[in-house]
Structure 1
Amino acid sequence: MRADAQRNRERLLAAARAAFARAGVETSLDDIARDANVGSGTLYRHFPTREALVAAVLDDRYEALAAEAARLQAEHSPGEALVAWLKLFVNHLMTYRGLAASVATVLHDETSPLYSACHAMRAAAYELVATAQRGGAVRDDIDASQVLHLAAGVAWAGEQSAADRAGVEHMLAVLMDGLLCNGRVPRPFG
């Protein structure tokens, strides 16, 4: 990529991060281009769809979530690792208004740029759930995809009700009580 094209891409990503934080992921793409001091055509050359822009903004976060899953598995029991990671995942989804609904929508759409961007994160979640199930910590009648959808639902509900962090954590604890075999969220993560 030419240096000027790379600068434009970085300005677009910075403007998108700021706009998403201010107004959510459904903010106007034309406003993002204007904030980046580029034309709409430049935005669409770099990011042909809203999902492509959202995926690019979130790419490093998804890699960090995948790395955090590995760290948690190495340091905690399977149930504790899953609970701690799901808290991180829900907090990630609440970073930008509308993100939880966007992620839940594309979890099975292999043609979506957002689906591709969260591949490592999804794989990490699948491993966390499978490990917790093999260890007897999580019920075996649910799969990782369903767990991710439920966590996205908690984030969405928190966003829709304007719940504070404590309220969102309580909803997640109730969800985990239903997922864990012993029905109790492990401490100190609960």
Structure 2
Amino acid sequence: MILAERDNAAGFTLMEALIAVVILAGIAAVLVPAVRTAVRVEARASSLVADLEAGAGAEDLLRELLLRAHRPPRSASTGQLAGTPTSLSFLTLATAAGTPQLARLEYESGRLELTLPRLETSPRAPQGIVLAEQLDQIRFLYFGDADDGQGAVWHENWDQIAPPQLVALDLLARDGGRKRIEARVGGAGPFDCGFDSGQGICLGDAE
């Protein structure tokens, strides 16, 4: 009789076990949504970081290509920088070829794509790089003197022999996000204008 009482005192009753299970279930019910929320927040943060890194990479690439733009002789029939609101083509030295290569940027079906020669395998096979996608609209603008008597101002199209001093790219995403990339153009000579891209005017000599 004494041994039986000791065994009962040392163990858990069925009621105590059920209470413990209920408590654990309650704790799990509280923690699981919190864990799921934390996982979603972390995934969203990782996605945003990846988008920012991709955007920064595209911006750096565009600026490097334009900064090392090649200005062909005036007598050359091709290779001059030419641009519209949705496309841009120019020669650049920012490749491993060692000679100027034609770079094309074109907007189509919500994607801005850069086309460069494929140098490693076949020069005849162009290499396409998507710089941005999920876009609702883009717009290229060109800052420079277009020999029209207006001086250095922003233009929607560029078909001059001399390249512009600056190229701006406005990106409007489908989710409403906006971004502007401004890049200096190599081969355009010194750029001493304190420009205002918002008003589209030159503010005079930069300090």
**TM-score (norm: length of structure 1):** 0.26
Q: Which has the higher contact order (CA 8 A, sep 6+)?
A: 1
Q: Which of the two has higher C-alpha Rg? A: 2
**Bigger fraction of residues in helix:** 1
Q: Which has a greater percent of strand? A: 2
TM-score (norm 2): 0.25
